[in-house]
Amino acid sequence: MTLVRDLVPSRGAARVGAALVCGALVVAAVSAGWGPPLPEGLWWALRGQRLLAAAGVGALLALSGLALQVVLRNPLADPYVLGTSGGAAVGALLALLAGLSLWGGAALGAGAASATLLLLARPALLAAEEASSRLILVGAMLAALFGACATLLLTLTPDAQLRGAVFWLVGDLSGAQDRGLCLGLAVLLAAGLAARSRSVDRMMLGTEAAAVLGEPVRLLRMGLLLGGALAAACAVAVAGAIGFVGLVVPQALRLGGVERTRDQAWMAPLGGSTVLVAADALARGLAPPLELPVGAVMALVGAPLFIGFLIHESRR
């Protein structure tokens, strides 16, 4: 039976949640009006769709990072670091060269990357948490491998599509029009994570402790891994390989005192949406009329933030 105290957020979580909601509203309002004025009939087609896609992609990346960090109990886990985003990017590039759907190619690539990671480091996923460092190392090597494959595929891309492929590979929202599919998927994944929040919290105590409490640890880990891979695949298919969102947002929530999965399940996608919408506004406004790749802007913002988190954590 769910206790009342499990439904009520702690004071720290309540403050962080209120700040996130206010920040999201401010960022959405600023981003919606950022740039040259547009005719009323063209605002939705040129800016509204992009704003919606950025919110959905950011939410999916944050949820993917949160799921992978829970599986490994390691704050360095991230779809970009573990090769999931790289596999999705390779699959999407292959689909682009073959004239097929980017969504299908990205989904197959992310699934192949996750399956390869599971096969190469299966003991780390299904055994003790101490082996999670092995999974991180295997994922980093897979990310490097997929990055090399993506570079080789770019050499085979026709000149007419090369510039767009390069921008998309480093993260680009200029042509993103997912019609809210990413945001809808993020809501479903967040709801599923919140529904299993007590089991996930018990798993975070350790594999043996969760098993003693009757939790299906292997099933939970497999579900989180598949959910993270699906989220990363959809995000890459829409906006390319964008890093640091899944790494920075869950870590920032924990440093802010948000520890329970029930709170993280809705705060992480909201924070990811806010961060990526802000990065996209910067990408559109830093060097007008040119547009910068949003993935590069996110890296310029995310890397210093993550270094700051590490310094803050070491001082604590």
Decide if pLDDT at 1 tops 50.
Answer: no
**Both tokens assigned to 83:** 């090769």
pLDDT per residue over 201-220, tens digit each?
Answer: 888 877 777 777 788 877 88
Contacts of residue 183, defined as CB under 8 A and 6 or more positions apart, other chains included, come to 52, 55, 56, 59, 273
Question: Is the Cβ–Cβ distance between 189 and 64 less than 8 Å?
Answer: no
- What number of residues does the chain have? 316
Cα separations in angstroms, 306 against 136, 141, 196: 17, 21, 28
| Residue ranges of E strands in 28-139 | none
pLDDT class for 125, splitting at 50, 70, 90?
Answer: low
Q: Coil, helix or strand for 79?
A: coil
- What is the residue extent of each domain of the chain? 52-315
Query: Mind listing the pLDDT tens digit for each residue in 247-260?
Result: 889 988 988 888 88
Does domain 52-315 correspond to CATH entry 3.40.50.300? no
Host H or E run for residue 208: helix 207-212
Query: Does 267 have pLDDT greater than 90?
Result: yes
Q: Is the bond leading into 36 cis (omega within 30 degrees of zero)?
A: no
* 48-91 confidence digits (pLDDT tens): 888 899 999 999 999 999 998 888 777 777 888 788 888 888 88
| Mean pLDDT on 143-163 | 83
